Structure 1
Amino acid sequence: MKYKNPSLSIAERVADLLAEMTLEEKLGQLLQPFGWKTYVKGDGDVQLTDTFKDAIANGGVGSLYGVLRADPWTEVTLETGLSLREGAEVTNLIQRYAMEHTRLGIPILFGEECSHGHMAIGNTVFPVPLTIGSSWNTELFRQVCQAVAVETRAQGGAATYSPVLDVTRDPRWGRTEECFGEDPYLISEMAIAAVKGLQGDSLNTDHTILATLKHFVAYGSPDGGRNADTVRMGMRELMEKDLLPFQRAVAAGAKSIMTAYNEIDGVPCTSSKELLTHILRDKWGFDGFVITDCGAMSQLRHGHQICETEEEAASLALKAGVDMEMSGETFGQYLQSALDQQLIAVSDLDLAVERILRLKFELGLFERPYVNPALAEQVIGQSSHRELARQAAREGIVLLKNKEQALPLSPSRGKIAVIGPNANNMYNQLGDYTSPQEREQIVTVLDAVRAKCSGFSEVVYAPGCRVKDPSREGFEAAIAAAASAETIIAVVGGSSARDFGEGTIDLKTGAAVITDTFMLSDMDCGEGFDRAQLNLCGVQLELLQELHSLGKKLIVVYINGRPIVEPWIDEHADAIVEAWYPGQEGGHAIADILFGDYNPSGRLTLSIPKHLGQLPVYYNKKRSRGHRYLETDFHPQYVFGYGLSYTSFHYDNIQLNQPSISVDGTCTVSVDVMNTGDMAGHEVVQLYIKDCVSSISRPDKELKGFCKIYLEPGEKRTVHFTISSQELQFVSADLTWIVEPGRFELYTGSNVEQTLSIDLQVVQ
């Protein structure tokens, strides 16, 4: 059996193993059942289920999804879930049974959710991707992904279903929090950082995992912001915006792709041979494997209704280029009969199996199928990862308003009232795709403000209301607390917290109350929670209005998964801090900014409208955008790239090293940036390009570069950007990438609207 010989090439080993496999064994490799159903935890004991053992006996299981996932869907809780050591021991138990009870001993690939940290109990919960995008710091994100890979692999996970590369066009979509923003260039840069951080230089280590790019493709552009709805988009826009981050991540070495639920121009992504074979493999040279999203294959029949039988659905997906099915239900039940009906051939099956086996060899699973439980306890949640989570949150928090320098606060300036439903609710600050965590692992805003003010000022607290509940029961206690203070920190927003069974809070005291009585869930965001509005839910605005009437300094902190449109708050709050979902160290990060221990450097990656009717409101619309509304214009409340600082930055002396280049030439644009304020801080220097006259209508401005720099007061730095055909090109009428001669305008500045400009002439 040559496939067991590590000295041979992977191609030789795959060919040898494939030749040894029976049809049943091949079919098993394409399946990814739900991993949490493979074991049962009892009193100090873990047993494998008969269902899993039967699957192994009937040809094997290629992969398992979410063995370590814990949430209401899996029904795994803090009490019934696995500790750090137990998680590693259970994956070892499953793997050992699979290898010892199958004829060929093919290892299982464990796939785990890691959108912003491994979705397992006790693992570090980093800020959500929307916060990461707002940091504009790709190197920091690479380090975050590296930490996620270390923690995941330590418990046996070898693949993650991230990063999410969807371009967000309608923030009513509940999965906005999982994305980096509305711009394909920024998303591409984050995608490359993710691939480098997760996969490293080699997959065959104990600290790297397989990156899965999702959702392929245009999942972030559904009609009305409704999850998985129809996408209406032409191929040119698809190539320039939605496909671009995937293309660049594939070029960076990504080895796995997940199909999207949606259809594009009538063709579901899961059955699109154009996407999964012609573009992904033939044009881009992708050599990894493709997996479906959960249930996507069944939707071909029951949702999109493009076929009459499950056999047809399975064959359409397989022949389009799908290699593995998450859940495994359609492939597992119907591929054999699809073969019998000659809807597919064994060669179609072999191609998918070959791709999966190749990655298992690349991951080193045949030589190192097991993990060290002691290592899992050592590396997961280590102090360096907590500090990394805190820094990522700091850099991704955006200061939207700071009237008359209301911030930073002084911890000794007088009593502070911390009010609001998100001030001390640990799960409301973590985002979707989070497992239950121990309370001491999470730092809330209240925790951190109390720590900052300890020994200086008194801090009082009252939640006031819940995120969605219409009850004003807690108003009286909140107003009383606020009236006794000098400054009010109101922490409001949304929640993507699924019901972990922790009960609720007493609105008068803020104390935890465990009850069996039905309570209105706080969840207004996350997968499947799309909205028709972007205002604050429940009575949160009313609470803020009553707090404002006290005449105190009102600092509003948003913790949420999508932009909030509340004109009253924009007008009346003294300061507004947008934190998105900042993760387990989010409380510390927010307090660091509120009290001036960190100068805010986050910049928006989503345009925030002033009115819901302006949607869609992304910055890089075409120049032929039409006329304004009767009631309002089309300018957002907060533009793309916007964010305030406690210091000021001055841009000057924009220059080109040459005034013209050829269509395939390069040049350098530079700009001087000076910190003209009294506090050191980071500035995000942004580069935009405009093709002034083009044969195909183009956006007015497009982001083509950015750089995050740190400047001391009075310090000046010259920032350089390279301009090449990659920054100037667009998709032509015949769907090829071209650069047209003519005049281009280059813009550098602090956001899309505040820039200096210079002309560049491109000649044939």
Structure 2
Amino acid sequence: MSYKDPNKPAGERAEDLLGLMTLEEKVGQLIQPFGWQTYEHRDGKITLTEDFKTQVQQSGVGSLYGMLRADPWTGVSLESGLSPREGAEAVNTLQRYVLEHSRLGIPVLIGEECSHGHMAIGATVFPVPLSLGSSWNVELYREVCRAVALETRSQGGAVTYSPVLDVVRDPRWGRTEECFGEDAYLIGEMAVAAVEGLQGESLQSPGSVGATLKHFVGYGSSEGGRNAGPVHMGWRELLEVDLLPFKKAVEAGAVSIMPAYNEIDGVPCTTNSVLLEDILRKAWGFEGLVITDCGAIDMLAAGHDVAEDGMDAAVQALKAGIDMEMSGEIYGSYLLEAVRQGRLDMELLDRAALRVLTLKFRLGLFEQPFADPEAAERVIGSEQHRLLARQVAGESIILLKNEADVLPLSKASGTIAVIGPNADAGYNQLGDYTSPQPPDRVTTVLRGIRSKLAAEPQRVLYAPGCRIKGDSREGFEAAMACAEQADTIVMVVGGSSARDFGEGSIDLKTGASKVTENAWNDMDCGEGIDRMSLALSGVQLELIQQIHQLGKPVIVVYINGRPVSEPWIDEHADAILEAWYPGQEGGQAVADILFGDVNPSGKLTLSVPKDVGQLPVYYNGKRSRGKRYLEADSQPQYPFGYGLSYTSYAYSALKVEPEVIAADETATVTVDIQNTGEREGAEVVQLYISDVASKVTRPARELKAFRKIRLAPGEKRTVQFTVGPEQLQYIGPDLQPVVEPGSFKVLVGRHVNDTLSADLTVRG
């Protein structure tokens, strides 16, 4: 039995093992039941369920989804869930049973959600991907992914369902927070960092997990910004934009991919063989695993209605290239019978099972199927990872406005009123796909500000004022009284992607937590929570307007999962910070920015519209899309790449050498950046390309390179980029990449609408 020989290649071992398996065992490898339903946790003891034991003995279980996941959807709470050590021990109990009670002893592949930290109790909660992208710090994000992989693998998770590589086209979409932004190039750079960080140098390492790219593809371009809605997109845009980050991540070695729920031009991604076979496998050479999102195959018969029933849906999916089904309900119910009835060739079933087995061998599960409880207890939620979460949150926060340099605040004098529904609401700053948290685990903005003025607690006042949603104004009076006593007011508003974690409600008059029969759900963002508007929910704007009448400096801090469009705030607030959902250390990071301990360096990865009626407003739309509406121009309130600092930077001496190149040659671009202010800071130098004339219509400019640099006061540095075929090509009339002869503009600057320009010519 050569499959037991660790010195043989993974593919050869998988082939040998496949030859020993029964039809039932092969099907068992293609299903992924919900992991939290396989055990019971009582009085500190882990007991496997009888249903799971029976399934293992009859046909085996290929994979489990979210065995360590905890949240309201799973029903796993702080009380019933597993600590880091207990989670590792539970995995070991399960794996041991599988190895001892299944005929061939094939270990289970455990897949976990890790979008911005492992979704397990005790794990570090990093900022959401929209925030991580706003750091524009690829190296730091790679470090975050290494930390997430270490925490996940130490507990037994071997594959993660991240990164999310969707290109956001309509930020009304509730899953905007899970994405890096609106630009395919930037997403591609983060995608490569994610694969390298998660998978490490070896998949068999105790600090590595397999990356699953999702959602393949076009998921961020749904009709009306509605989750899983139809996508209306031509092949050129698909190839040039939405597929680009996936292609880069596949080239970086990603081992798994997840098709999107949506259809493109009438064909669901789950059965799109052109995407799954012709492009992914044949053109890109992908050899890994394709796994569905939860319920995607069922949607073929009940949603998309392209399948007659579950049997038809299962056959269509497997034929199209779906190897494993998350939840396993359709594959588990119909694949056996489909083969027996002759509706499905055994060859296709073998193909899928072989891919599952090969990945298990590549991950080293046959040699080391067990977790490390000691390591789990040591590394999960460690101090090192907490500090990393604070650092990346600080680099991701964006300063949108700073009238008369009202920021940074002084630590020496002045009373600060911290007001708003997100000032002291921990779950509201974590985002979706987050596990339950102990009360002291999350540092809110209020706690962060108090920590800066710990010696003088009387200088920090607090009132919630209102909730995220709803029309209750019962907290207005207390908020106004609080603001009247202060010199400066920090309004912490925005949105919430918090599920109902049973944390109770809040007394709007006192700010104290209170237990009620029905906890108030303020969720207005997250998966399945799409909006018609980008305005603040509830009466938040009204609260800010009333407090503004006091005539005191008002600083607005947005904590949210999608851009906010509030023209009144843009005009009247003295300063505005966009923090997105900044994670467990987000409140401390916001305080670091407010008091100047950290100089803001985050930049927008999404254009922020003046009004929702401007959508779509992404920066790299076609030149031909028009100039203005009757009411206003088509420019956003804050453009892509925008973000202020407490210092200033001057760009000069942009050069392109040589100025004329052949289509297969490269040019060197240099530019000088000087810190002309009095504070050290970090600047994101952005390079855009504009194709002056092309055979196919093109965007006016496209991001093709960026670099984040740190400069001391007065320091000047020359930044160098290389521009060649990769930066100049586009998908031509024949749907193939081409670099056309002609004129190009090379644009370098602080954001898309503030650049220096130089000429580059590609000779014919």
Common fold: TM-score over 0.5: yes
Partner of residue 699, structure 1: 699
Partner of residue 24, structure 1: 24
What does 1:242-641 correspond to in 2, within 5 Å?
242-456=242-456, 458-516=459-517, 518-641=518-641
Partner of residue 664, structure 2: 664
Which one-letter code corresponds to 1:508 in the other structure? K
Which one-letter code corresponds to 1:345 in the other structure? D
Question: Percent same amino acid among aligned pairs?
Answer: 64
Which one-letter code corresponds to 1:463 in the other structure? P
Which one-letter code corresponds to 2:741 in the other structure? P
Which one-letter code corresponds to 1:354 in the other structure? L
Partner of residue 735, structure 1: 735
TM-score (norm: length of structure 2): 0.99
Counterpart secondary structure, 1:491: strand
Residues 583 and 569 of structure 1: CA distance in aligned 2, closer, same or farther (over 3 Å): same
Give, in angstroms, the shift of residue 44 of structure 1.
2.2
Give, in angstroms, the shift of residue 519 of structure 1.
4.2
Deviates more, 1:587-596 or 1:410-419: 410-419
CA distance in structure 1 between the partners assigned to 2:390 and 2:526 by the alignment: 22
Give, in angstroms, the shift of residue 629 of structure 1.
1.0
CA distance in structure 2 between the partners assigned to 1:51 and 1:692 by the alignment: 64
The one-character-per-residue Cα deviations of 1:209-259 (angstroms, maximum 9, x if unpaired) are 000000000000000000000000000000000000000000000010001
CA distance in structure 1 between the partners assigned to 2:31 and 2:255 by the alignment: 18
Give, in angstroms, the shift of residue 510 of structure 1.
1.2
CA distance in structure 2 between the partners assigned to 1:531 and 1:134 by the alignment: 22
Runs of at least 5 residues in structure 1 that lack an aligned partner in the other structure: none
Deviates more, 1:625-634 or 1:151-160: 625-634
The one-character-per-residue Cα deviations of 1:606-641 (angstroms, maximum 9, x if unpaired) are 000001110000000011112421111110000000
CA distance in structure 2 between the partners assigned to 1:550 and 1:735 by the alignment: 60
Partner of residue 219, structure 1: 219
The one-character-per-residue Cα deviations of 1:305-331 (angstroms, maximum 9, x if unpaired) are 011021111111111111000000000
Partner of residue 677, structure 1: 677
The one-character-per-residue Cα deviations of 1:375-431 (angstroms, maximum 9, x if unpaired) are 100111111101110011001100000000010001222111110000000000000
Counterpart secondary structure, 1:538: coil
Alignment size in residue pairs: 763
Which one-letter code corresponds to 2:397 in the other structure? I
Q: CA RMSD in A?
A: 0.8
Question: Are 2:500 and 2:519, in contact at CA under 8 Å, matched by a contact in 1?
Answer: no
CA distance in structure 2 between the partners assigned to 1:570 and 1:245 by the alignment: 33
The one-character-per-residue Cα deviations of 1:21-57 (angstroms, maximum 9, x if unpaired) are 0000000000000000000111222211111112112
Counterpart secondary structure, 2:412: coil
Partner of residue 648, structure 1: 648
Question: Are 1:469 and 1:520, in contact at CA under 8 Å, matched by a contact in 2?
Answer: no
Partner of residue 210, structure 1: 210
CA distance in structure 1 between the partners assigned to 2:628 and 2:414 by the alignment: 47
CA distance in structure 1 between the partners assigned to 2:508 and 2:464 by the alignment: 6
Give, in angstroms, the shift of residue 11 of structure 1.
2.3
CA distance in structure 1 between the partners assigned to 2:476 and 2:587 by the alignment: 23
CA distance in structure 2 between the partners assigned to 1:706 and 1:202 by the alignment: 28
CA distance in structure 1 between the partners assigned to 2:576 and 2:165 by the alignment: 28
Which one-letter code corresponds to 1:288 in the other structure? G
CA distance in structure 1 between the partners assigned to 2:559 and 2:620 by the alignment: 26
CA distance in structure 2 between the partners assigned to 1:75 and 1:606 by the alignment: 34
Partner of residue 161, structure 1: 161
The one-character-per-residue Cα deviations of 1:692-711 (angstroms, maximum 9, x if unpaired) are 00000000000000000000
Counterpart secondary structure, 2:164: coil
Question: Are 1:654 and 1:669, in contact at CA under 8 Å, matched by a contact in 2?
Answer: yes
Which one-letter code corresponds to 2:34 in the other structure? F
CA distance in structure 2 between the partners assigned to 1:371 and 1:71 by the alignment: 22
Which one-letter code corresponds to 1:324 in the other structure? M
CA distance in structure 1 between the partners assigned to 2:52 and 2:64 by the alignment: 10
Partner of residue 230, structure 2: 230
**1:90 aligned onto 2:90:** yes
CA distance in structure 1 between the partners assigned to 2:42 and 2:519 by the alignment: 30
**1:726 aligned onto 2:726:** yes
**1:189 aligned onto 2:184:** no
**1:240 aligned onto 2:240:** yes
The one-character-per-residue Cα deviations of 1:543-573 (angstroms, maximum 9, x if unpaired) are 1011101111101000000000000000000
Deviates more, 1:336-345 or 1:94-103: 336-345
Question: Are 1:468 and 1:520, in contact at CA under 8 Å, matched by a contact in 2?
Answer: no
Deviates more, 1:335-344 or 1:660-669: 335-344
CA distance in structure 1 between the partners assigned to 2:571 and 2:172 by the alignment: 23
Counterpart secondary structure, 1:254: coil
CA distance in structure 1 between the partners assigned to 2:54 and 2:632 by the alignment: 63
Partner of residue 61, structure 2: 61
Partner of residue 178, structure 2: 178
Question: Are 1:292 and 1:326, in contact at CA under 8 Å, matched by a contact in 2?
Answer: yes
Which one-letter code corresponds to 1:723 in the other structure? V
Question: Are 2:232 and 2:264, in contact at CA under 8 Å, matched by a contact in 1?
Answer: yes
The one-character-per-residue Cα deviations of 1:115-168 (angstroms, maximum 9, x if unpaired) are 000000100000000001100000000000000000000100000000000000
CA distance in structure 1 between the partners assigned to 2:360 and 2:111 by the alignment: 12
CA distance in structure 2 between the partners assigned to 1:70 and 1:10 by the alignment: 33
Counterpart secondary structure, 2:751: coil
